C-alpha cells in the first residue's frame, strides 16, 4: 500500500465538500441515458487514508511494492500476528484505540479453552483451560502462569507445584489454609485446622510456631497443646482474669490480671509473686502480694499529693518520694531520719533533718542572680563551692572567712586568694599560651609554661627576663649559664669501649680560627647585642669533623619545621689542644737536646 505519487498528485489533502445523498456506483446505460458514476478525488482520498490508518496503526511502514500490508496489519492488530481463527474482536467505545494498539477480545479453541485477552503494553490471558478445567491467568509476554485455581478450589499464586510462592486451600473437615513458599528457603502454613485451632505452621521445620486454641488462648512456640510446655501462652480465664504465660526449659512465668484485680508477674517454679500492682496502684516488687513493709519494694501514691517508693531488705527500710509539704526526700525508716532532701526552692540537703540551713552536712543550692553553690558543714569547719554572680567559680573557707580558690570566667585558676598577689595561678591565654604563675608575695614572681610558638619557658617576671626554655626538638637553652661548683661527668674505663688515641693535634690547631660574633636571634638564640668569642663549627668541620655535631632547631622563629644546625663538641676541642701541647712539648724537648 502506498499513497498516490504521480505528477498530478497534490501535497495536501483537498477539503471535502458537504455530504450528499448516500448511494452506490453504476456503470451507466447510454441507451437509457443513464450516466456512469464519477469517482471523485475526495472519495479516493478517504479510501486511501482509511487503509493507511490501519497499516500504520499496526506499526507497518507503507511500501509501494507490497500488496499484503492491509492483511498483515489486521493480523497484527486483532490476532497478535496469528491467523484470525476462532477469535471474536470487540471494538468500539473505550475498548479499542487504534492509535495505541490496545485491544480487548475473547478467544476460544477446539479443546474448550476460553479466554479473555488483554493487550496493551503487556498481553495477558484470563480464563478456563479446557484440558483440566483450571482457571488461569497467563502472562503471555513472560510465557508463565501467574495464578491457578484448580478443580478443588485451591488457589496457587506464582507457579504450579510445591515451589509455589503462595497457595490458598480449603480442605475437608472445615480446615482452610494459606501456604507461603520462598523457593529454596522456607515454607509456612496459616489457617484453621480441622480441630478448630488457628495455627501458623513452619512446614520446613515440621513445627507449629503459633496456635490459637478454641478457648481463645494463644500458644507461641509450642506444639499446639495447651499447657506449660508452650514457650508463650496468652489466655483470658474465668472471673475476668487474663494472663500471658512464658515457659522455657528451666522456668515458667505468667503476667496478667488476677480475679481480685491485682496485676501480677508470677514465678511458677518458685511459686511466688515477683511483682504486683494492687487495685490502689501501689507496685509491690519481690513480695507475696500483700500490702505492707514485708514487700522488698513498694511504689505508691498516697493522699495529700505525696508519692513514694519504699525499699525493704529485712534489716533496713528506705523510702524515696514526695512529701505533702513539697519536699522530695530519701528517708531512712529504721533510723527515722531524712538522709537526702530537696526543698521547694531546689536546694539539696544531704545528711540533715530536712530543715534548710548550715546544720545540714551538705547543702546544694541555686541562689538568686544565677549563682549556685554546694555547702559543706562538718561541725568544725564550714566550706562552700560554687559560681558567683560575676561568673567566678569560688571555693571559700567560710569558717576562716577567706576564699581559697578562684576560677575566673577566662579560665584562669587562682589559688590562695583573689587578685594579682595569688600565691599560685594557672592561666590559659590567647594564642595558645598556657602558664603557671608562682608568686611569693612581696619578693619574687615566676611563670612557667608553653608559649604560642611552642617554646616551654621559665620566666622571671620580677626581672622581666626569660631564664630557660626548651624548644620543640628538645633543645634546652639557658642564657648566661653560670655553674657553681665542678662539672664532673662519668669517665670510668669500666663504662667505655672501643677506646683509641685521638689523632688530631697541632695540625688542627693551626687551622682553628677564633672569631668574635653576636647572636642574630635565629635558632632560639637571644639577640642581646653582646659580643662573644669562640669558633664557627662550619669552619672546623673540614679538618676535624668528629668534633662537629648536629641538632634539630627552627632557624627562623616563623619556621614550622626543624632543620639540622651544626654544634661544636667543646670536649673534643680540648682533646685537639691537648694533643697540640704534647706535640709542641716533644719538639721543645728535641730542640733542647741539641
Does the structure show a pLDDT above 80 at 131? no
Same structural domain, 174 and 146: no
Same structural domain, 576 and 511: yes
Asked if residue 268 is part of any domain, the answer here is: no
* DSSP string across 78-89: HHTTS---SEEE
Asked if residue 239 is part of any domain, the answer here is: no
Compute the average pLDDT of residues 371-378. Answer: 78
Does the structure show a pLDDT above 70 at 105? no
Same structural domain, 141 and 188: no
Asked if residue 242 is part of any domain, the answer here is: no
Compute the average pLDDT of residues 88-116. Answer: 52
Number of domains in the chain: 4
Mark out the alpha helices in 486-569 (DSSP H runs). 506-509, 537-540
Q: What's the pLDDT tens digit per position in 132-152?
A: 888 888 888 888 888 888 887
Same structural domain, 68 and 121: no
- Domain end, chosen from 151, 178, 199, is at 151
Tell me, what's the pLDDT at 87? 39
Give yes or no for a contact between 117 and 127, defined as CB atoms under 8 angstroms apart: no
Asked if residue 543 is part of any domain, the answer here is: yes
Does the structure show a pLDDT above 70 at 103? no
Does the structure show a pLDDT above 80 at 490? yes
Asked if residue 170 is part of any domain, the answer here is: yes
Does the structure show a pLDDT above 50 at 12? yes
Asked if residue 108 is part of any domain, the answer here is: yes
Same structural domain, 62 and 6: yes
Same structural domain, 92 and 69: no
With cell 502472562, the residue in question is 139
- Domain end, chosen from 214, 229, 244, is at 229
Does the structure show a pLDDT above 90 at 202? no
Separation between Cα atoms, residue 268 and residue 251, nearest integer Å: 8
φ, ψ at 46 (rounded to 5°): -65, -45
Name the helix (H) or strand (E) containing 570. helix 570-593
Same structural domain, 197 and 169: yes
What nine digits make up the cell of 575?
Answer: 682533646
User: Which percentage of the chain shows pLDDT scores above 90?
Assistant: 10
How far, rounded to the nearest angstrom, does the alpha carbon of residue 296 sit from its chain's CA centroid?
Answer: 41
Same structural domain, 46 and 68: yes
Compute the average pLDDT of residues 420-426. Answer: 63
Same structural domain, 572 and 517: yes
Closest CA to 293 of 237, 234, 333, 351: 333
Does the structure show a pLDDT above 50 at 226? no
Tell me, what's the pLDDT at 100? 46
- Domain end, chosen from 191, 212, 229, is at 229
Give helix 41-57 / helix 69-79 axis angle, nearest 10°.
Answer: 50
Same structural domain, 549 and 575: yes
Same structural domain, 91 and 111: yes
Contacts of 313 (CB under 8 A, 6+ apart): 296
Compute the average pLDDT of residues 47-75. Answer: 87
Give the pLDDT band of residue 359 (cuts 50, 70, 90): low
Asked if residue 426 is part of any domain, the answer here is: no
Does the structure show a pLDDT above 50 at 84? no
Same structural domain, 6 and 57: yes
Asked if residue 38 is part of any domain, the answer here is: yes
| Domain coverage including residue 77 | 1-18+26-85
Most confident option among 119-123, 326-330, 353-357, 436-440: 326-330
Amino acid at each position: 500500500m502506498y499513497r498516490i505519487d504521480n505528477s498530478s498528485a497534490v501535497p495536501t489533502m483537498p477539503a471535502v465538500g458537504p455530504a450528499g445523498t448516500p448511494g452506490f456506483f453504476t456503470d451507466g446505460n447510454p441507451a437509457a441515458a443513464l450516466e456512469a458514476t464519477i469517482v471523485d478525488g475526495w472519495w479516493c482520498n478517504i479510501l486511501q487514508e482509511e487503509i493507511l490508518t490501519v497499516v500504520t496503526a499496526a506499526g507497518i511502514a507503507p511500501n509501494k511494492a507490497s500488496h499484503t500490508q492491509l492483511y498483515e496489519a489486521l493480523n497484527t492488530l486483532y490476532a497478535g500476528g496469528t491467523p484470525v481463527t476462532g477469535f471474536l474482536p470487540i471494538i468500539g467505545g473505550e475498548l479499542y484505540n487504534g492509535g495505541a494498539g490496545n485491544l480487548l477480545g475473547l478467544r476460544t479453541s477446539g479443546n474448550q479453552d476460553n479466554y479473555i485477552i488483554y493487550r496493551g503494553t503487556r498481553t495477558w490471558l484470563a480464563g478456563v483451560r479446557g484440558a483440566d478445567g483450571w482457571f488461569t491467568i497467563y502472562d503471555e509476554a513472560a510465557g508463565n502462569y501467574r495464578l491457578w485455581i484448580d478443580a478443588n478450589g485451591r488457589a496457587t499464586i506464582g507457579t504450579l507445584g510445591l515451589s509455589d510462592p503462595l497457595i490458598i486451600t480449603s480442605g475437608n473437615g472445615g480446615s482452610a489454609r494459606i501456604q507461603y513458599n520462598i523457593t529454596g528457603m522456607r515454607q509456612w502454613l496459616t489457617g484453621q485446622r480441622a480441630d478448630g485451632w488457628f495455627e501458623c505452621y513452619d512446614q520446613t521445620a515440621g513445627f507449629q510456631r503459633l496456635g490459637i486454641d478454641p478457648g481463645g488462648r494463644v500458644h507461641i512456640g509450642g506444639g499446639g497443646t495447651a499447657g506449660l510446655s508452650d514457650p508463650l501462652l496468652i489466655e483470658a480465664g474465668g472471673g475476668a482474669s487474663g494472663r500471658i504465660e512464658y515457659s522455657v526449659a528451666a522456668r515458667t512465668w505468667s503476667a496478667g490480671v488476677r480475679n481480685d484485680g491485682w496485676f501480677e508477674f508470677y514465678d511458677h517454679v518458685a511459686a511466688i509473686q515477683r511483682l504486683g500492682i494492687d487495685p490502689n496502684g501501689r507496685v509491690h516488687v519481690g513480695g507475696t502480694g500483700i500490702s505492707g513493709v514485708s514487700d522488698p519494694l513498694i511504689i505508691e501514691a498516697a493522699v495529700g499529693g505525696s508519692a513514694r517508693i519504699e525499699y525493704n531488705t529485712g534489716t533496713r527500710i528506705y523510702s524515696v518520694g514526695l512529701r505533702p509539704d513539697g519536699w522530695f526526700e530519701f528517708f531512712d525508716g529504721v533510723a527515722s531520719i531524712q538522709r537526702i532532701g530537696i526543698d521547694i526552692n531546689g536546694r539539696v540537703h544531704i545528711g540533715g533533718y530536712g530543715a534548710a540551713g548550715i546544720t545540714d552536712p551538705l547543702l546544694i543550692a541555686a541562689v538568686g542572680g544565677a549563682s549556685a553553690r554546694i555547702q559543706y558543714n562538718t561541725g568544725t569547719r564550714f566550706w562552700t563551692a560554687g559560681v558567683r554572680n560575676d561568673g567566678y567559680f569560688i571555693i571559700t573557707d567560710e569558717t576562716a572567712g577567706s576564699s581559697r580558690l578562684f576560677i575566673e570566667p577566662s579560665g584562669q585558676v587562682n589559688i590562695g586568694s583573689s587578685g594579682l598577689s595569688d600565691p599560685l595561678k594557672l592561666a590559659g591565654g590567647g594564642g595558645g599560651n598556657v602558664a603557671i604563675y608562682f608568686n611569693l608575695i612581696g619578693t619574687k614572681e615566676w611563670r612557667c609554661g608553653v608559649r604560642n610558638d611552642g617554646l616551654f619557658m621559665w620566666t622571671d617576671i620580677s626581672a622581666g627576663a626569660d631564664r630557660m626554655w626548651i624548644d620543640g626538638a628538645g633543645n634546652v637553652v639557658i642564657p648566661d649559664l653560670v655553674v657553681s661548683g665542678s662539672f664532673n661527668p662519668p669517665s670510668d674505663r669500666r663504662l667505655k669501649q672501643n677506646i683509641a688515641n685521638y689523632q688530631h693535634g697541632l695540625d688542627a690547631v693551626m687551622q682553628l680560627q677564633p672569631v668574635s660574633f653576636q647572636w642574630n636571634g635565629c635558632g632560639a638564640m637571644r639577640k642581646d647585642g653582646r659580643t662573644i668569642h669562640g669558633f664557627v663549627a662550619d669552619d672546623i668541620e673540614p679538618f676535624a669533623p668528629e668534633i662537629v655535631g648536629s641538632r634539630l632547631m627552627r632557624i627562623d622563629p616563623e619556621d614550622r619545621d626543624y632543620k639540622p644546625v651544626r654544634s661544636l663538641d667543646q670536649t673534643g676541642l680540648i682533646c685537639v689542644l691537648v694533643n697540640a701541647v704534647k706535640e709542641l712539648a716533644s719538639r721543645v724537648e728535641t730542640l733542647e737536646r741539641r
